[in-house]
Amino acid sequence: MFKAKRMIGALRPLLLAGVATLALSACASNRGQLANTDYAGLSAAESHAQLGQLTARYRANPKDRAVVIHYAAALRAAGQPQQAAAALEQAIPHHPGDVAISVAYAKALTAAGRFDQSIEVLRNVIEPDAPDWNALLVLGATLDQTGRHEEARQVYVQASVIAPGEASIETNLGLSYAMTNDLVAAEKHLRRAVQMRGANSQTRQNLALVVGLQGRFDESRAIYAAELPPDQVEANMAYVRALLTQQNRWDLIEKG
């Protein structure tokens, strides 16, 4: 059987990577997203360059709404979620009631392992009559990381009603099932996700991971190979095999 804590640890970065891009301007439907704040897929050199540029922009105007959101996202991608949270804490008083900044702050808190704080921020910003689906998505990811998977899935379903056909919602739903070793359900949702609006390379790599965890290595490698250079494909396959070894699943796969 899967070691639940190990699987949660392995999938935590993927949950937040799958969270939808934050809107940088008020938009009731959440459709008017002006720019991508996902820096997780960049190479080390690209990430360093982007962070350097954003650091300069932030220092020049730390109150700028768009700049601080991008700066915090780049910091999270660079493994500095506490610094990201601190930057957003400085900006929040200048933008009271701003949903995008609050959600960005919650993402930084979750990435830093400050789950209770993140949930409190999100509960305060989610309006019962018109919830923001980005906020719901981050709430679901945070609940998943605290082991509250059933609650998380209910939140994802609520988000999918508000924003049907969004790959990020279906992706996180799939990863939620993967965390509890329901790999068949996980694969079903991830296969849906790759066909949806907003699906990207990370979405397809998540599918490859879940396929590989079921022992279908050739299929998993083929999905990875369509997205990554050969050395990264082999590194990812080694990671899949390492997870299987840690979770003592080889006998189950051989029998299945």
Domains within the chain, CATH numbers bracketed: 4-255 (1.25.40.10)
How many residues does this entry show for the chain? 256
SS3 50: helix
Q: Which of 143, 134, 199, 190 is nearest to 163 (CA)?
A: 134
- Residue listed under structure tokens 């009731």: 28
Please state whether 175 falls in left (phi above 0), alpha (psi between -120 and 50) or beta: alpha
186-232 pLDDT, tens digit each:
999 999 999 998 899 999 999 999 999 999 999 999 999 999 999 99
Q: What is the pLDDT of residue 9?
A: 65
CA distance 178 to 57: 39
Measure the CA–CA gap between 234 and 229, rounded to whole angstroms.
Answer: 9
Alpha-carbon gap, residue 100 to 90, rounded angstroms:
15
**Can you state the percent helix, strand and coil of the chain, rounding each to 5?**
70, 0, 30
Across-strand partners of 197? Answer: 166
d(CA 192, CA 174): 9
Both tokens of 180, joined, read: 């509890």
Q: Look at residue 36 in the predicted model and tell me its pLDDT.
A: 55
pTM recorded for the entire structure: 0.84
Sign of CA dihedral 48, 102, 109, 182: negative
pLDDT band for position 243 (50/70/90)? confident
Q: Are 137 and 17 in contact (CB under 8 A)?
A: no
